[in-house]
Chain A
Amino acid sequence: MIDRTNDHLDDRVKARILWSLTEGYRLTFAIAIGSMAIGYVFMFAVPLVARFSIDAILTPEAIPAPAWLRQLALWLAPGDSPDMLVYLVLAAIATVALTAITGVFVYIRGRCAALASEGIIRRLRDRVFDHLEHLPSHYHDRADTGDLVQRCTSDMETLRVFLSGQIIEISRAFLMLVVVTPILFSLDVAMAWLSLAILPFLFTAAYFFFQRVKTLFTLVDESEAELTTVLQENLTGIRVVRAFARQAFEIDKFAEKNAVFRDHNKKLMALLGMYYSFSDIICLGQIGLLLLVGATWVIDGSLSIGTLFAFLTYEGMIIWPIRHMGRVLTDSGKAIVSIGRLSEVLSEPIESQNEHDPRSRLAGGVRFDKVTFGYDATNTVLDGVSFSIEPGQTLALLGPPGCGKSTITQLLLRLYDYDYGRIFLDGWELSALNRKYVRAQISIVLQEPFLYSASIETNLRVGRRDASLDDIKEAATDACIHESIEGFPRGYDSMVGERGVTLSGGQRQRLALARALLKNPPILILDDSLSAVDTDTESQILAALKERRQQTTIIVAHRLSSVMHADKILMLNQGRIVQQGTHESLRTEPGIYRQLCEIQGAIQHQIERDVFEQVDES
């Protein structure tokens, strides 16, 4: 499902980004890799102990023991020559001790790798989250939520696996080689060459194989995405499917994608099988070669059996990680893509943050002075709009869809920055004020409000986290939602969303209003936010709002009943103010508002006629 094509950064940039991500954890990584290297030194000593023991057993008359070991053995078991048992017990103890030391380093490696990778990822998760919340609305308008979430989760996970596993895995293979090569050459030069000869070929073969398989991986991914799409379309459209009784058709459609996915997967498995089969033969063949050539050298006396055993053991230790390197490198390739996708998000510029913050509560005066704005360069949504309202007043905005009503409210919140003209809040120029300050002074209720999938109380507390339960209930009462909430089985604890109560459009709007009232800001904006509330409830709410009277109110609406009590009414059309005044002044002035009022009369008339006709008929 991940679109792997929109990857604009080149690999060098991504490597730099990766490097910068590891900041603060580089030492930890270094310790992980360092302890891995030390661990290998001890681990590779174990076969040497076995080699020594085997040779000692086979030729007891000439035990190749260094002087200190002989001393130690003599001290443990006094006598002319130390007993073989003593040597063997010492060897066994050495084996366990060396492994235990290795174990300690393996543990340190694991711990440090986890510390570093989990730490980096935690920091990155927080950073991306914070960044997303501060990206401008322009960005979110364009962005696809599903894709963004994919980046934050799947790509993050790919990166995590890379940091905690693959980096270590890659260094493991190289460290092993670095540690084992001197040991092998010190044991026997000819055998050492023989053991290492095949590794470059194996490595190259593995690398190229997995590069080729990559395309098949992509095919599998794509067919999975197609399968998921069919499934999702079916499930979201299940009512349409039933409505036309198209179950059989859907089953066929799904069966086709299902089969393609299966077959691609099978092909992938078959190819992997071929590779592992082939490389197993090569690897084991290499060990066999070592065994047989080594045997001839043992026969002619140039090699001891113990040394042969050590070589066989070493070969077994290093050959398998190298065989896996192709796979590891391919997976790392995926991590590189993920880094690119994450840094694309992080490199988007965020909203400006550092303007002035007056820290005092606004009175609530708003003035627009010839404001012109468009969401993109080609379309002007607001065209030289000027108006003002005094603190505590109510302003109503009326106009057809797309006339710029909502844009005015969004500019006020500094969700977008205006292009020309000026906006003042209490005499402060809006663009010179800190965004967070501005937003803290304004509450907005949208037509389709966003509610969190949490309890009703938690949703209301979004308005003010430390509000008392009484405050919450008061706000809910003013928004005419208290009774409905009390009617839910779990009252204020009821969950909102898929797992909880299903709220009607009107209930959602009133809940959002209560939330906004709880914030108790100097400026309240209702952006068509009572559209799903019936007129009786609406007038009740408007009356309650009037009673509060603490705030400047801006109402965007379609109904005359919502706006007629406003202190000022603006009629907007195509980004311009075509009329402004009060209900009383506009009702008498020739223009659109009067016509609206006349239509109301006309409807009354029509209704009377309907009733009249009926009377006529009967």
Chain B
Amino acid sequence: MSDTYFDDENYNDGFSEDSFQEGIKLVLWKRLFGYALRYRLDVGLLMICALAVATAEVAFPLITRSVIDAVGSEGAGIDLGFYAALYFGFCLLLGVAVGGFFWFGGKLRNHVSHDIRRDGFENLQNLSFSYFDFRPVGWLMARMTSDCERLSNILAWGILDLVWSITMMLGIAGAMLYMDVKLALVVLSVIPVLVWMSLVFQKRILGSAREVRKTNSRITGSYNESIMGVQTSKAFVKEAENLNDFGGLTDKMYGASFMNALQAALYLPLVLILGSLASGLALVFGGLEVVWGAITAGTLIAFLTYARHFFDPIEELAHWFAELQMAQASAERIMSLVMAESAIQDSQAVRQRMAVTYRPGLAIDGYDNAINTIEFRDVSFAYDVGGRILNNINLSIHQGENIAIVGSTGGGKSSLVSLLCRFYEPSAGRILIDGIDYRERSLHWLQSNLGIVLQSSHIFGGSVAENIRYGDLSASMAQIEEAANRAGASEFIESMEHGYLTHVGEGGSSLSAGQKQLISFARAILADPKILVMDEATSSVDTVTEQYIQQGMAELLKNRISVVIAHRLSTIRNADRILVIEKGEIIESGNHAELMRAEGRYYKLYTQQSLAEFAQQSELWQQHTE
């Protein structure tokens, strides 16, 4: 799980926290409350619980007041049973309400985060690849996990605390005013100062907390880099320098964390002192009123108790108000993911056609299901950032044809293939499937007719069978075994301890590169796509595996359109047509013999490649082992 510790602050993509400092974004919050409102009933019950808790907490000092006054005025004659019943009644109410508080709050919090995560995930499945190009996996993960959790925490507990704090403070203020208006006003005069101070402090505390988090993610990055690059550090004797640089970071972290703790350490006593000021005021004025007989001793005690408790919610409230900004940052980050629109999606017209009832024999978008020719017509392409990758490509591929693409890195080979798969769309020009622009066809239809085998074969955690079945979810075990057999993978799979049910570990960690490749072949064979696209791996494998790979390749390419970014000589030589792509253009095209005769770029590439390949051939070396 080397990606999970990435923090968003590492990635400045214009969504950095600083850009969220100002202003409350109403659209965003409206959308967020939409999530909470799906659980209207729970929100309502949560509010009722919060109300009940606050009511009970306000009631206890009032009961105490009555008891003390009754003791003072009636002496032995008082009915303690009544007060006991009242007191324990409220006790039970509070207990039940607190339970409900957690129950409904927990439910709301977890359902909201569940729903946001679900929507985020579903949207991610449909976003186009351009979205993923400049957003590392770690960045996306941080949004889907920590931001989502933080946001739903704030949504549930923030609302809850808000309701509780406000009812509690209103309740206390109300009770004080009910008992004695003047005294209440005197005691409450401390409040504005307290609120102001709290806001000032919480803002500062939050600022330093943000600094702490930023530095923390840099420290994480440093650890990561130092572990990944430990060989390099050693080879360049960078240990002391690295530690020195890192020491600078930890110093910064120390400074920021210390500042953060200090602000909190300063805030707490100030609240205490202001609170005591309120108590002192209550004592002086309340005391005098008792002496004058204006209020009872019970009332004074109630005032003293309220003055103590009035300040509990203030802290919470100030905290949440300050947190709101951070919540907005989190919200914006996760919502940007939920609301992002795919750059590539079915057009309105396509969707309308797909809505029309399905006709047997035709594709879901109402056109012919077969694919006979694919044609690139004056296709140019550039990524959102950077220069042109492909320039005026003209190409047509026919049913059953095997195409090999060769050329140097960065020449545009992968981009050409990505366009074919409609992972991207051309910046200019058109790609036609049997004469129809593929933007007028269903994306899902095209992609479900594609089979793609990538250079680094992605293997999911789970069993071998599950990985192969990914090609066709309805496949039977027999079909899976047949596909594996045709791919040349059955031998090594059957030799494993649990055969097809062997678990391959996260990312296929227990398999070799060659084995992963064979499994991905089997997966593609099972899928039986109309078009096969492949980025051939270069990894060196042993001779036996190499033979299987050749066999699997041949099987895979049979009877369909295939486009292979080729590295192996055998693949290249056997292709129906070879395209040499350099600097975004097709500079040579033809079969092996034709291109050799031309003695151009291909000739040069081929001679170099054959030398390197022969020099690595293991049989050669085996002959010479005594």
Contacts and interface: CB of A to CB of B under 8 A. Distances in A.
Q: Do A and B bind each other?
A: yes
Interface stretch (B172-180, B322-330, B494-502, B602-610): B602-610
Given A129-B243, A439-B235, A291 B410 contact: no
Interface stretch (A73-81, A206-214, A385-393, A605-613): A605-613
Contact of B261 (A113, A270, A285, A305): A113
A263 B277 CA distance: 47
Size bracket of the B interface:
35 or more
B569 to A, nearest CB: 10
B480 to A, nearest CB: 14
B501 to A, nearest CB: 18
Interface stretch (B23-31, B135-143, B352-360, B558-566): B135-143
Nearest to B292: A84
A92 B286 CA distance: 11
B262 interface: yes
A133 B507 contact: no
Nearest to B408: A534
Contact of B288 (A84, A269, A465): A84
Nearest to A309: B301
A133 B242 contact: yes
Interface stretch (A51-59, A171-179, A419-427): A51-59
Contacts of B611: 559-561, 599-600, 603
Contacts of B594: 614
B261 A299 contact: no
Contact of B64 (A143, A232, A312): A312
B236 A245 contact: no
Contacts of B403: none
B125 A262 contact: no
A519 interface: yes
Contact of B272 (A99, A146, A227): A99
Contacts of B376: none
Interface string B527-554: 1000001000000100000000000000
A165 to B, nearest CB: 10
Nearest to A112: B265
Nearest to B411: A504
A109 B265 contact: yes
B444 A106 contact: no
Given A57-B287, A400-B621, A262 B110 contact: yes
A203 interface: no
Interface string A519-531: 1000000000000
Contacts of A561: 611
A146 B1 contact: yes
A443 B458 contact: no
B141 A235 contact: yes
Given A229-B461, A244-B470, A114 B247 contact: no
Interface in B40-60: 60
Contacts of B90: 284
B118 A125 contact: no
Contact of B460 (A227, A233, A415): A233
A254 B216 CA distance: 30
A241 B91 CA distance: 56
Interface in A90-136: 91-93, 95-96, 98-100, 102-104, 106-107, 109-111, 113-115, 118-119, 121-122, 125-126, 129-130, 132-135
Given A229-B1, A452-B225, A559 B615 contact: yes
B396 interface: no
Interface string A581-618: 00000000001100110011001101100110111010
A342 interface: no
A499 B221 CA distance: 14
A224 to B, nearest CB: 8
B71 to A, nearest CB: 5
Contacts, number: 471
Interface stretch (B72-80, B367-375, B432-440): B72-80
B574 interface: no
A599 to B, nearest CB: 5
A273 B103 contact: yes
B600 interface: no
B409 A504 contact: yes
A118 B264 CA distance: 14
A144 B227 CA distance: 10
A439 B231 CA distance: 11
The interface residues of chain B, by DSSP majority, are classed as: helix
Given A89-B284, A242-B423, A251 B122 contact: yes
Contacts of A221: none
Contacts of B4: 1, 146, 228, 232
A436 B409 contact: no
B165 interface: no
Contacts of A134: 239
Interface in B225-276: 225-239, 241-243, 246-247, 250-251, 253-254, 257-258, 261-262, 264-266, 268-270, 272-273, 275-276
B2 interface: yes
A550 interface: no
B167 to A, nearest CB: 17
Interface stretch (A17-25, A274-282, A359-367, A368-376): A274-282
B300 interface: yes
Nearest to A91: B283
A4 interface: no
Contacts of B106: 265-266, 268-270, 272-273
A235 B227 contact: no
B194 to A, nearest CB: 14
B391 interface: no
Contact of B137 (A111, A235, A241, A592): A235
Contacts of A274: 99, 102
A462 B470 contact: no
**Looking at B220, B234, B235, which has the most chain A CB atoms within 10 Å of its CB?**
B235
B593 A153 contact: no
Contacts of B111: 262
Contact of A462 (B78, B107, B232): B232
Contacts of A548: none
Interface string B439-461: 00000100110111010001011
B107 A111 contact: no
Contact of A277 (B72, B99, B254): B99
A111 B262 contact: yes
A506 interface: yes
Contact of B227 (A149, A305, A606): A149
Given A58-B72, A284-B95, 15 more contacts: A53-B287, A58-B290, A92-B280, A114-B257, A133-B234, A149-B227, A233-B506, A242-B447, A273-B101, A278-B95, A288-B84, A299-B75, A400-B618, A505-B409, A614-B597
17 contacts: A110-B266, A126-B247, A132-B226, A134-B239, A140-B231, A234-B124, A243-B421, A258-B114, A266-B106, A266-B110, A273-B106, A292-B84, A296-B80, A309-B301, A463-B236, A559-B615, A603-B614
